[in-house]
Every structure is written in structure tokens, then in C-alpha cells.
Structure 1
Amino acid sequence: MRSKLLAFTIAFMMSGLLVQAQNVKMKKIFDGKSFRGWVEPDNNIWWKAENGVLSAKSGPERKGSILWTEKPYEDFIVQADFKFGEGTVDSGIFLRTDKQQIQIGISGSLKRDMTCSPYIPGKGYPVEAEGVKELLKHNDWNTMKVQAKGSVYTVWLNEQKVMTYTSDNAIEKGPIGLQLHPKNEMSISFRNIKVASL
């Protein structure tokens, strides 16, 4: 009886999280033409905002760059469309810090696509997202939704849930970042970037 009650409670809580992720009101944090609401890097040669698209491309020295939101967030959902560009695309969405990331593209360490999987320095990829190979479109736009609720990260790719991970070193509050990985020749584009605080 206890095991049935526990199973029901867990299922109820998980369904509640899913409903919450689907029903919250998302707010645009990219206006499609400027870096308003973002911390544009000094001497920016990497990021461009125009025609509804935020694009990133490696510079000649391949130093990489992170574009951070001005606003810090606690519990939140971030959603963005992304499209692979040229080269070896190694990007991701940082969650409150550059030590907690959801990967987009090729892992530099594993040399294979790890889109939607969490990368944690010192831990590598503690879990791997499921079903991504079948869902991911390499030549078209994809939609990634990431929920960060406390230390629990949940990821959807093209409306399908693909990963849940509980981090043991998540921080409570911080900005959201988009990554252009150093040491790579690459480009990537984002659009329809939205956030909801939970």
C-alpha cells in the first residue's frame, strides 16, 4: 500500500511540474534587433542581433564568448529556437552560472552530439538526454525548453521531454547565458528567446 501511495505521489508531482512548464506565461527577452536586456561583451565581434535572429560566430582568434542576461533568475523556464550554423557547433544555455550548462551541439570532450544533456565541469555529462537523435533537425530550427526549479533541470526538445537531472552543486540565483565555445570555428543562431519566472 505504501509503495502504491508513494508511486502515486511521485506521478502527481511530476505531472504538476509538466503542467507548470506548459502553462506559465513566457516573456520575450530578445527583441529581435538589439541587445536590450543582455550584457553585450566589450569589443563585440561575435554576436549580432537583426531581423529577429540573434547569431553568434567565432572570431579570428577563436576566443569564444558568453552572452548573459542582465537580469538574474531563481526558478525559471527558458525557451529558445536554435539553428546550427557552420563548423563544429559547440554551444549551450548556462543556468545561473557558467558551471551549469545544457549542451547544444558537439561535445568537445566526447566528440559527439550531446544536445539537451547537462554539462557540469568536473562531472562531465552526468546523464544523457534520450531520443535526441530522432528529434533533432540539423538543417532547420529546433525549440529547446529548459526548466530550472531549484536543483532540478528538465529539458524538452521540439515539445518532447528528453532529460531530467538533479544537480548537487546548483546555485540559487543568477543570469542565463548563451555560449559561443572557444577554440572552435562555428556559428549558431537563436530566435524567440523567452523566459518565465516560477
Structure 2
Amino acid sequence: MRKRSLIAGCLLLAAGLVALQAAQAGAWVALFDGQTLNGWVQRGGKALYEVKDGVIIGSTVAGTPNSFLCTQKDYGDFELELELKVDSRLNSGIQIRSQCFDKETTVEWQGKTIKIPAKRVHGYQVEVDPSARAWSGGIYDEGRRGWLQDLKNKPEAQKAFKTNDWNHYRIVCQGDSIKTWINGVPAADLKDAMTPKGFIALQVHGHKESGLKVMWRNIRIREL
């Protein structure tokens, strides 16, 4: 009887741990604490990143290349939500499943060999494009293959982005599927399996003028 009770107790404990892990896997977690840049590391250029009034502010520095504020943790399958606002003269992006290596690396794609320099942030980027082209929410492969899915045939998505205002981005990555929404409007829907896991990063695009700003707030993620 005692042995049966012990086995039953172990089974209940195991079931509880499984349930707890499942709950944790689906729980929303803040990537930004609203006060500091703890959990993030800057790579690439020398743009300025600071926190003010619960907002991450990235500012251009003339003559420096693309800059990226990157999570120290890698993510594979997830749902990411955030709000952003960008100067209408500046391009930006949200890196997902991205990587950066100390040594030059190569990848093979469609019979081509692509060389990626050492220290170069590369990977999927969800576009932030306030220009007349209006491809915000499209998916660009930063430092690697270029455009994977633009929005030239998606007029509703092109109209969704609000210039000089806050915009809500939703990004869902699961397996080879990457989907995006801008202010609740479906944008990109891509199937691509080149990189299943990597960091998330906030880009300040290189610019000839200093002081142009991108702002991010309410950044949260849940792993799927």
C-alpha cells in the first residue's frame, strides 16, 4: 500500500510539473522592464539607446552603420507584441530569429553561397517603413538574402501603418511559418525554414543625419 501511495504521489508531482511547464510556455513575459536595458545588448553600429518614461528610444548617429539592440536570449516559436513610433525620415525594423557570429560564416541558398561578415547581425527583419512605399510589416532578410516578402500586392496592409504615430506590431513564428500584423491588419505570411531560432532586436537604421529617433514600448513575448 505504501509503495502504491508513493507511486501515485510521484505521478501527481510529475503531472503538476508538466502542467506548470505548459503554463509557463504560454505565459506572456515582458522583454522590457520599462526602466532599464537589462537583458539587452547592442550590436552593429553606434546609435544611442536610452530609456525615458517607459520607452526605449533609439537615436541615429551620423556615419555609423545599422545598429541593433538585441535580446540576450534566443527564441524559436513565439508570439511577440510591441508598439513603436519612428521618425518619418527613418527606416527601421524588428529582427526575429536573428544571429551574429564572431567569425565570417557562409550559407547556401538556391545554389548560391552567401558570405556573412564577422559581427554582422543577420536574419529575419519585420520592416518598419514610413516612406511612400509603405512596406511596414513585410519581411526582409537582413545581411543575408534581402526581401523575402514585401507588401506591394497587399494594399490593406500598406494602409495600416500610421506615420508619426504609435503602431502596434504582432509577430507569430511557429515552425517554418512567420506571420505579421500591423495595428490588427494581416501583413506578411511567409514560409521559410532557414533559421529556426535566434535573438530579437530593435534596429536603428544607419542615416546621414544624427538625432532621428525610433521608440518602442510595451514589448512582450510568449513562447509557443
Kindly provide the CA deviation profile for residues 97-120 of structure 1, in whole angstroms up to 9, marking residues without a partner as x.
12211111158xxx8331000112
Residue 201 of structure 2 aligns with an amino acid whose one-letter code is G
Contact 2:55 2:217 in 1 (8 A): yes
Contact 1:34 1:50 in 2 (8 A): no
* CA shift for structure 1 position 61: 2.1
Kindly provide the CA deviation profile for residues 21-42 of structure 1, in whole angstroms up to 9, marking residues without a partner as x.
xxx5421110112111111459
Contact 1:92 1:104 in 2 (8 A): yes
**Structure 1 equivalent of residue 54 of structure 2:** 52
State the alpha-carbon separation in 1 of the partners of residues 44 and 148 from structure 2. 31
**Structure 2 equivalent of residue 149 of structure 1:** 174
Task: Determine if the alignment matches structure 1 residue 172 to structure 2 residue 196.
Answer: yes
The verdict on how the C-alpha distance between 1:146 and 1:34 changes in structure 2, with shifts beyond 3 A counting, is same
**Structure 2 equivalent of residue 70 of structure 1:** 72
State the alpha-carbon separation in 2 of the partners of residues 91 and 84 from structure 1. 8
Please point out which of 96, 102, 114 is paired with 2:135: 114
The verdict on how the C-alpha distance between 1:187 and 1:43 changes in structure 2, with shifts beyond 3 A counting, is closer
Please identify which structure carries the higher strand content. Answer: 2
The verdict on how the C-alpha distance between 1:25 and 1:74 changes in structure 2, with shifts beyond 3 A counting, is same
Please point out which of 189, 193, 198 is paired with 2:219: 193
* CA shift for structure 1 position 195: 0.8
Q: Which moved more, 1:66-75 or 1:93-102?
A: 93-102
Aligned residues: 170
Contact 2:80 2:220 in 1 (8 A): yes
Contact 1:86 1:188 in 2 (8 A): no
Kindly provide the CA deviation profile for residues 150-198 of structure 1, in whole angstroms up to 9, marking residues without a partner as x.
22111111122222111142x1221111111124543211100111100
**Structure 2 equivalent of residue 136 of structure 1:** 161
**Structure 2 equivalent of residue 81 of structure 1:** 83
**Gap runs ≥5 in structure 1:** 1-23
State the alpha-carbon separation in 1 of the partners of residues 60 and 38 from structure 2. 22
Contact 1:30 1:193 in 2 (8 A): yes
Identity of aligned residues (%): 25
Kindly provide the CA deviation profile for residues 15-58 of structure 1, in whole angstroms up to 9, marking residues without a partner as x.
xxxxxxxxx54211101121111114599651111211011111
Contact 1:119 1:125 in 2 (8 A): yes
State the alpha-carbon separation in 2 of the partners of residues 101 and 193 from structure 1. 16
Q: The residue matched to 1:177 in structure 2 has which SS? A: strand
TM-score, structure 1 normalization:
0.76
Residue 96 of structure 1 aligns with an amino acid whose one-letter code is R
Contact 2:32 2:219 in 1 (8 A): yes
